[in-house]
Amino acid sequence: MRIIVGLLVAFLAAGCSDDPLIGGVTGPTGEPSLSFSDPAPSVAPTCVSIGLEDGYRLPMLVSFEELLLRPPGACAGASQCGHLALYVMGALNNEGATPAIDLIFDKVADRYHDGSTHAVTGDPDVLSVVAEVVADDGQTLLDHDGEIVSAAVDLLTLPDCDVSPGS
């Protein structure tokens, strides 16, 4: 009877876990993908009111499929596993292991971007944000086609989006 109860407890405990690494599974194998869900990319850059005070952080939410997000060093050899690295204008801004990662404006050299056209380049003035998945070995995770698993969004960042620039 003890053996049956012990097996039943072990079976129920294993069945209650949401961790895909339990039971010998080595991680997802399908096509990995990453995208921003908030703020979501759109045809026109999304405007974010960031105020005038220091210390502003913008929560960036990502959606992902066929990936495991874990703190650095916690993938234990699992495939398609890593943590998020958030880049702003090409510079590392923050790292995290959850689908929500803060964009830290105190680490951004030029925090305000109004969408106006640069006189020299002709490009719009936007804050470019990219998230990538970094594996335990420090390498950027690649999808099945050898492309970096990443998400990108361009933002307008103003003290108040309800006030038009120059008014």
pLDDT tens track for 75-118: 988 999 999 999 999 999 999 999 999 999 999 999 999 999 98
pLDDT score of 41: 87
Q: Average the pLDDT over 17-32 and give the result.
A: 66
Give this prediction's pTM: 0.80
Q: Does domain 27-157 have CATH number 2.50.20?
A: no
pLDDT(17) > 50 = no
pLDDT score of 16: 41
C-beta atoms surrounding 121 within 10 Å? 8
18 against 118, higher pLDDT: 118
> 27, exposed or middle or buried, with CB in 10 Å at 0-12, 13-18, 19+?
middle
Domain ranges of the chain: 27-157
